Amino acid sequence: MAATYRYAMVGNSAAAINACDAVRKLDPEGSIILFGEEKYRCYSRPLISYLVAGQIESGGMYYRPPGYYRSMRVDFRKGTRVEAVDAAKRTLTTAEGEKVRWRSLLLATGFKPFIPPVPGLEEIDYLTFVSWDDARRMLARTAKPARVLIVGAGLIGMKAAEAAEARGAKVTVVEKMERVLPQALDEQASRMVWERCREAGIDIVTGQGVAGLEPRGGGKGKAVLDDGGELEFDLLVMAVGVRPRVELAEDAGLQCARGIEVDEYQRTALEGVYAAGDAVSAMDVVLGRPSINALWPVAALQGKYAGMNMAGKEVPYPGCNSMNAVEFFGLPVLSAGIVNPPGDGYEVVTRRGDGDDYRKVVLQGDVLVGMLMAGRIERAGILTGLIQERANVRRVKNFLLEEAFGHIHLPRSVRQERITETAAGIMKAGAARDKGV
């Protein structure tokens, strides 16, 4: 007979863990079961490049203590894949054949690497770079000096390149687009990152795809580029992009052409089934429509609201926007919202300071819809807040890129609200400290 749980969570990363936290605050007694395909307790995927580079130890990967699941009274099924969901019967089935009944189900299935059909790839023992196991494999295969070829110059590919270089590898990155980080940055910021990487000894080939691969055994091989150029490698990393994992949702009967669709309460079209995280198409406040934002903070926030609604609180998800905060060889870069306007109707203002100091804002009418900072990002938090709030910045347009831009430039009503929120946060933190939390 199948066991019955009040809540079932498929996934063990930011969305599912924050959903568990939210559920427990509202429902201390309801039974929870959580399924994670990997053999680890919840860890921070964005840290895998720092692990490979030797900047953190394995223990620094975890963001909850060892006793988290026990203290939260969560039945954690480590290394267990959910194979099917029957929404009508409110059951799920694992790969081992175990059946579990649930009253509320969260699909937090995340993303998977996109692997393009490259001739010869199936014969090469290549890596992806999205999991702890990927990091372990890179550590093992770069124990000796190696020639590492990375296909893709997005965030994953460029962080993989930085990590491999820190291991002493000779790194080459191949990108089919004309510049690095083409989705997250504009041309100027891309050039700044490119220059930092070249200074560190990383070769970057843009405007070229890999037309074919020739295996040489042991994971080694040769890549033939679109223009006929050839690159020898000891290790191949495929970092072309990611795709939402929607197979489980589709098999359960959901339409997922643009990710798992949810309403403002993170509910899917199936009764009792919620979804959150990198596989979900949810409201983007800048675009004004649902979109997939496969970012850690977005997944965490969606999970929090999904958990609250699963526990019966009925709180609408406020929406998020695309935001990337990353550093390459000491160059911090932060972007949010629209950084490459798709057409007319936008106002773009840029400022280039001394050295590595580049700033940009994108406005649509009197609304700030995008920003980018490279080098000096001290004031980025205020701008990202204004983007999230879709605030009218007509009165402060001329100050947005000033070094001294701050709350003093905001309208009095907005400034007072921010001050009140900050004071409340300080008092809350102080109360938590006094209680030993």
pLDDT band at 406, cuts 50/70/90?
low
Q: Is residue 433 part of a domain?
A: no
Q: Is residue 431 part of a domain?
A: no
CATH number of the structural domain spanning residue 255? 3.50.50.60
pLDDT band at 282, cuts 50/70/90?
very high
Same domain for 125 and 223?
A: yes
Return the amino acid letter for 216: R
**Full domain range(s) for residue 90:** 3-111+244-310
Same domain for 103 and 195?
A: no
The average pLDDT across 261-273 equals: 98
Same domain for 164 and 194?
A: yes
Same domain for 182 and 165?
A: yes
Strand order in the sheet with 280-284: 260-261, 280-284, 289-291
Q: How far is CA 45 from CA 110, 197, 304, 307, in A?
A: 11, 22, 18, 21
- Structural domain ending residue among the three candidates 282, 310, 338: 310
Residue 163 CA to residue 55 CA, distance in Å, equals 10
pLDDT at 102 > cutoff 50: yes
Q: What is the pLDDT of residue 405?
A: 67
Residue 318 CA to residue 387 CA, distance in Å, equals 13
Q: Is residue 325 part of a domain?
A: no
pLDDT band at 376, cuts 50/70/90?
confident
Same domain for 234 and 125?
A: yes
Tokens of 131: 């999991």
Same domain for 189 and 155?
A: yes
Same domain for 94 and 14?
A: yes
pLDDT at 427 > cutoff 60: no
Residue 351 CA to residue 11 CA, distance in Å, equals 42
Same domain for 91 and 126?
A: no
CATH number of the structural domain spanning residue 334? 3.30.390.30
pLDDT at 219 > cutoff 80: yes
Residue 179 CA to residue 373 CA, distance in Å, equals 18
Q: Is residue 425 part of a domain?
A: no
Average pLDDT along the chain? 91
Same domain for 19 and 104?
A: yes
Provide the domain count of the chain: 3
